[in-house]
Structure 1
């Protein structure tokens, strides 16, 4: 199954910073054949209600830090629909069709941190098993209140890396893996990111101030 020509991005609301809107415009201009889908928090919640069962929706609602919610969403939306997910502060340098082949089902990039696969951008066919593994691992973490003070392990790159490694260790060979930043096709953050999205990542501060998971409802 081919990877659909659609790009997903998310932000807490529709008030996306002006410079970020410019990079979105530039991405669209570089990829005119791709549909663009923007999800704010309200649309994400409606997506989980409509596309997943109540247990998954309730698990999502327990997440109390925006970055972890965005992590869960990226796996969930691509599992349902397929396509390209890109963090709101990331951007494309070239046309995605120069990177994605017609027969691709999973296109993955490495982080600069050795041994970790990046998930600021995800490129998957609909229903890919790696995404299902990510969702299942997150649901298990939430159910057992694991890593409530460590988003990297609760929903983030650790979850994704574990899922990719588990899938490939089963002998699956459909993943095409690039070096850092898809070897020049994408970037995780535009140059003026720090001025727009605070000096230190908000999620890093937030997870030190409060748990990433709300208490289980009775």
Structure 2
């Protein structure tokens, strides 16, 4: 009996060893379908990861290519995002044919140009020459070639100067002011102390408020906002809209063969100047994407700014009265240069650059 039990025990042990041995073997044998050595598995995983990386790179490239076909305003928004909470950059931008260090820089402009540096010691003050303008726009808008094409195609220097102010403020922000303006007060004092700067993205002033029946004989709009001095944070939607509008109009006329002096179907005022600028501002102030406009609610019009004598904040923009950037004109309610609201004086000496083609 003990011998039988011992034999059974030995048999069970042998069967258990056989089971354990076979359970540790691969399900397939070398050469059988589906067999993958460890080194082969590693190679396939690496190949798969490489393919995944290639696929992702191709997807990014396809996205970039398709993004190039997106509406210009969307591409501008992506390239130059708007952050209302940021600070106003401490830049002062001006343009002229010559650099202030040049012997050709106009003597009559030296006092006005120097006023900006004197009153803004902590700011970077740049006077951009015509030649530098072109290269700077090429650099800043390298990913938006249609914008540079539009700029480079403009037939008049004054148009390029107009376009440049919107382009540089959209990309870099700060203060733009014509070379023939005089700073009367430092920019940090243009807003009242109690106004939260983190809730303001742009500052501009009223150029004209002609409360008379024949206003259209003298100005392009009943209320006209000046663009010889603008303060903005980079990426502001008004600037984005203005850049897109000028680009689209320029390329349209170029394609039609009329982007030439004497052939354009729009004037400088309506294309790049105060008329177009004023329209862009009102488009923004009445855009339901940025402002809550209840059904039946009255749009913002010239009536909301006519006769204005102090600061007026609408959303993230502050509108200054005519005195702020046009003191001493002696009309339309403008105060003198010693008025507390007088910030910048425009001398109208050279903003049109004495362009011989005009």
TM-score (structure 2 length as normaliser)? 0.52
Q: Which moved more, 1:107-116 or 1:3-12?
A: 107-116
Residue 30 (1) aligns with residue 119 (2): yes
Residue number among 131, 140, 163 corresponding to 1:51 in the alignment = 140
Q: Would the aligned equivalents of 1:30 and 1:94 in 2 still touch at CA under 8 Å?
A: yes
In 2, the alpha carbon distance for the partners of 1:138 and 1:68 equals 10
- Partner residue, 2:108: 19
5 Å matches for 1:63-212? Answer: 63-100=154-191, 102-103=197-198, 104-113=200-209, 114-145=222-253, 147=264, 150-170=267-287, 171=291, 173-182=315-324, 183-189=341-347, 193=349, 197=350, 202=354, 206-207=357-358
Change (3 A) 1:9 1:94: same
Q: Would the aligned equivalents of 1:181 and 1:187 in 2 still touch at CA under 8 Å?
A: no
Q: Which runs of 5+ in 2 are unaligned?
A: 1-85, 210-221, 254-258, 292-313, 325-340
- Partner residue, 2:6: none
How far off is 1:16 after superposition?
A: 2.2
In 1, the alpha carbon distance for the partners of 2:115 and 2:280 equals 32
Change (3 A) 1:33 1:129: same
Change (3 A) 1:21 1:99: same
In 2, the alpha carbon distance for the partners of 1:69 and 1:177 equals 25
How far off is 1:161 after superposition?
A: 0.8
Q: Which runs of 5+ in 1 are unaligned?
A: 208-218
**Max Rg structure:** 2
CA RMSD of aligned residues (A): 2.2
Change (3 A) 1:62 1:131: same
In 1, the alpha carbon distance for the partners of 2:265 and 2:97 equals 21
Give deviations 1:138-180, integer Å, cap 9, x for gaps: 0121122285551111111112111110111022711110111
TM-score (structure 1 length as normaliser)? 0.84
- Partner residue, 1:211: none
List structure 1 runs of 4+ shifted beyond 3 angstroms. Answer: 146-149, 200-203
In 2, the alpha carbon distance for the partners of 1:27 and 1:138 equals 29
Of structures 1 and 2, the one scoring higher in RCO (CA 8 A, sep 6+) is: 1
Give deviations 1:86-107, integer Å, cap 9, x for gaps: 0011121111110146333110
SS, match of residue 110 in structure 1: strand
Change (3 A) 1:96 1:32: same
Give deviations 1:117-147, integer Å, cap 9, x for gaps: 1100110001101000000110121122285
Change (3 A) 1:148 1:84: farther
Q: Would the aligned equivalents of 1:99 and 1:185 in 2 still touch at CA under 8 Å?
A: yes
Equivalent pairs, count? 200
